[in-house]
Amino acid sequence: MYNEFTSHALNPFGHTDRLVAPVRRLTDLMIDNLEKLTRLHLEAARVYTSMGIGQLRAAIAIHDPDSLREYVANQGVAAETVARRAAEDAETFAGIGNDFAADASRIAGENVAALSGSVKSGAQTRQVPKTTDRRTGNGQNATRKHPTARSKGKPAS
């Protein structure tokens, strides 16, 4: 009796593992997505830092009008490089976000299906608990009213 009660209390639909599995998959997906984004951020920081340091070194190397002219001419190339890299990074971020959204949506759909199946199967297999009539010792469904109980609106006979 106690074991039956605890199993129903801890696992009311009988399918908790099926209900928890989508949450675990979604958590795994979020961790994978976090890892991808972190790697992308670190790589972008490395590249942009390298570009910035290169620009600082080029600025420090200016020592005459010709080197200044060369530095200014290269600024257009440097700006194009940064703009191209930023566009590529934005595309990559968007792709990671789109992939995450699609996978999360798929997992959510599977979760809805699992919940629907669990609720349907739980409703079909649910048994009404039995109670014991103290006077007779007979078991009866808990939803039945005791023969001496009054129903609404009717006087006791």
- Inform me whether the pLDDT recorded for 41 exceeds 90: yes
CB 133 within 8 A of CB 140: yes
- The answer, yes or no, to whether residue 24 has pLDDT greater than 90, is no
pLDDT value, residue 22: 77
Most confident of 14-23, 45-54, 102-111: 45-54
Name every residue whose Cβ is closer than 8 Å to that of residue 138 and which is 6 or more positions away in sequence: 132
Q: What is the pLDDT of residue 150?
A: 53
Q: Give, in order, the Cα–Cα distances in Å from 51 to each of 55, 91, 145, 148.
A: 6, 20, 82, 89
- 84 forms bridges with which residues in the sheet? none
pTM reported for the whole predicted model: 0.57
- Mean predicted confidence (pLDDT) in 110-135: 60
Hey, what amino acid is at 114? A
Q: With a cut of 70, say whether residue 137 has pLDDT above it.
A: no
String of b and e for 112-135 (b: at least 16 CB within 10 Å)? eebeeebeeeeeeeeeeeeeeeee
Closest CA to 55 of 73, 41, 71: 71
Looking up tokens 């007779």, which residue turns up?
136
Taking CA atoms, 141 is separated from 39, 50, 96, 123, 125, in Å, by 61, 77, 55, 16, 15
Residue-wise pLDDT tens digits, 49-102: 999 999 999 999 999 999 999 999 999 999 999 999 999 999 999 999 999 999
pLDDT confidence of 10, banded at 50, 70, 90? Answer: low
Per-residue confidence (pLDDT) for residue 21, from 0 to 100 = 77
Q: Using CA atoms, how far apart are residues 23 and 47, in angstroms rounded to an integer?
A: 36
DSSP 8-state class, residue 136: T
Residue 119 · residue 13 · CB < 8 Å: yes
Q: Would you list the domain boundaries of the chain?
A: 13-51+77-115
pLDDT of residue 13: 57
